[in-house]
Structure 1
Amino acid sequence: MNKENLLSGVEDTLYIPLVARIFASEKFPNYFYDEKALSLKPYIPTNLIEKNASEYFHMASVCRQDVIDKKIIKFLEENENCNVVFLGAGLETAYNRINNKKANFYQVDLPNVIEIRKRILGNAENERLISGDMFTLEWIKEIDTELPTMIAVSGVYQYFNKEKIVEMIKKMKSLLPKGELVFDATNTKGLKIANRYVKKTGNVNAQMYFSIDNVNEFVELTDTKLIDVQGFFARALKICSNAKFITKLFMYFSDKWNRTKVIHLKLN
């Protein structure tokens, strides 16, 4: 595998969550282990990210995805014949961690990202890569909408404004009669902290805009049904005893103050 060819055109924003998964897999394998991410470690230019990242910010990325993974796994257990759609898929390796060969998996992202994903992560037999703007909802034409469908949006909505996201969810509601949506959000304070971190990694143009302070108000605004909302860190706090004290402190108060959360909605 040629390093230059594999990584040409890859932006730092795609690396941040991947580097976090490598970090957690090496330090907290009893909590989170991502074999696919680890296999890519030799090919990733991590200097800038690792220089400015803290253990807490690595864990925030990983714990978010761990919560979402568990929700997808539960959905798959309850719906053997179904769809799982990752919007803004980037270099997410949830497909490999979940390791389900029966459901239909879809990875949706912009054309240049899908090309990078295909080159780096490949394309499994029950996994389809779809190029396009996720907000146009053209990707829905590629799936069987009569099947139960779980849509996962991880670390993506923050980069768009609230009105655009609400409009998208309302449209998905009309097009996916058996749809569920799981996504992460921060509150206003958490968003400010996240923006400071991303700028430190060198991505000065990756401004984030979307936050949720009141989940029930958002549910009412989107005319959906709340299945569940939970913080990122409860399971990690129980398992990752070797985490730094400051990391555990940040994780505890992040959940306590609702700064980070995963929201699970039923669209209809």
Structure 2
Amino acid sequence: MSPEKVHLTEEKATLLATLYGRALDARSPHPILGDDLAAETAGRIDHDFGGVGMNAGSAAAVALRARFLDGWAAGFLDAHPKVTVLHLGCGLDTRVHRLDPPDSVRWYDVDHPEVVELRRRLFPERRAYATVGTSVTDLAWLERIPADAPALVVAEGLLYYLDPDGGRALLRAIVDRFPSGLFVFDALSRFGLRLQRFNKPVRKAGATMHWGIDGPAELLAIHPGLRCLSAVSAFDIDGFDLLSPAHRAVARIASLVPGMRRTATFYRLEF
């Protein structure tokens, strides 16, 4: 099988850095996420991954982020055997394969058409699984999704790339469509957005982040049906002990800088 040639730009191109980060983690002596399918998939893509701006430290951060959100998602799936999963801005994430839900779970991976087409060529088919090729903020796609079960909405590395008005409209539309559910995602503060010029993978992709969120109150104001179950600083998630001593030291120092602790936050919102 010949390697897949990939031509993506701006925020779509960041999925290559994220995939490569999980691949680097899987190939490391002591993996955090251990996503072997990501490593296999990266090996099937004809791309200069050396130019995506990912190193061992940022790869570990990518793996930690994915593992943390996997834990929240798995907890919800365990408690809800029949659920509809909306994996927004899925990129080339292998989450559906990592979590391996039963057929009673309907899983939809949603991303731009060219990304979805690439997924179809790279990943094996699954039962109770479908892809939706669209911009997540073009809300017409939601009308094609059955709304007769609770929804689990996963948005890793996505919200900060959305236009704030479009992002808020997306969350409102999902809450209005489903009887109940859970959002799990990461977000950056406005201060975090100002630091994006130091984010090498984002800079290399030519991407721009737009939506900064300074705490749960801003999210709860989007819809009266939203309730915040968790807001966890990226510096407080489980697994920092798995980083190298040098990276742990950098994280500790950064966490002491005013404003840095809430630069990146993981949210779990119930509706």
TM range (shorter): 0.7 to 0.9
Offset at residue 255 of structure 1 (A):
5.9
Equivalents in 2 of 1:18, 1:30: separation in Å?
14
Q: Which residue is 2:7 aligned to?
A: 9
* Partner residue of 1:203 out of 202, 205, 215: 205
Q: How does 1:224-243 map to 2 (within 5 A)?
A: 224-233=226-235, 234-238=237-241, 240=242, 243=244
The gaps in structure 2 that reach 5 residues or longer are none
Partner residue in 1 for 2:249? 249
- Normalized per residue, the structure richer in helix is 1
Q: Please show how residues 80-159 of structure 1 align to structure 2 within 5 Å.
A: 80-102=81-103, 103-159=105-161
Residue matched to 1:264 = 268
C-alpha distance in 2 between matches for 1:200 and 1:14: 10
Percent identical across equivalent pairs?
19
**Cα distance, 1:253 vs. partner?**
5.4
Q: TM-score, normalised by structure 1?
A: 0.87
Cα pair distance change 1:255/1:87, threshold 3 Å:
farther
Deviation (angstroms), 1:107 = 0.6
Listed one character per residue, the Cα deviations across residues 38-75 of structure 1 (whole Å, up to 9, x for unaligned) are 212323431102xx334332233222221111111001
**Structure 1 partner of 2:28:** 27
Supply the distance in 1 between the matched residues of 2:152 and 2:211 (Cα, whole angstroms): 22
Which residue pairs with 1:63 in the alignment?
64
Structure 1 unaligned segments of length 5 or more: list them.
Answer: none
**Structure 1 residues 139 and 253 mapped into 2: Cα distance closer, same or farther (>3 Å)?**
farther
Distance between the aligned counterparts of 2:162 and 2:42, measured in 1? 30
Aligned residue in 2 for 1:38: 39
For structure 1, which segment, 153-162 or 192-201, has the greater mean C-alpha deviation from structure 2 after superposition? 192-201
Separation of aligned partners in 2, 1:200 and 1:139: 27
Q: How many residues align?
A: 259
For 1:181 and 1:66, the matched residues in 2 are separated by 16
Matched residues in 2 for 1:194 and 1:92: separation? 22
Q: 1:181 aligns with which of 180, 183, 188?
A: 183
Letter in 2 for 1:236: G
**Shift of the alpha carbon at 1:254?**
5.7
Aligned counterparts of 1:235 and 1:190: Cα–Cα separation in 2: 21
* CA RMSD of superposed structures (Å): 2.2
CA change 1:9–1:217 in 2 (3 A) is: closer
Distance 1:23 1:168, change over 3 A: same
Secondary structure at the counterpart of residue 135 of structure 1: coil
Q: How far does the alpha carbon of each residue in 1:160-207 deviate from its partner, in whole angstroms, 9 at most, with x for none?
A: 222221122122211112122111101223223334324675222x11
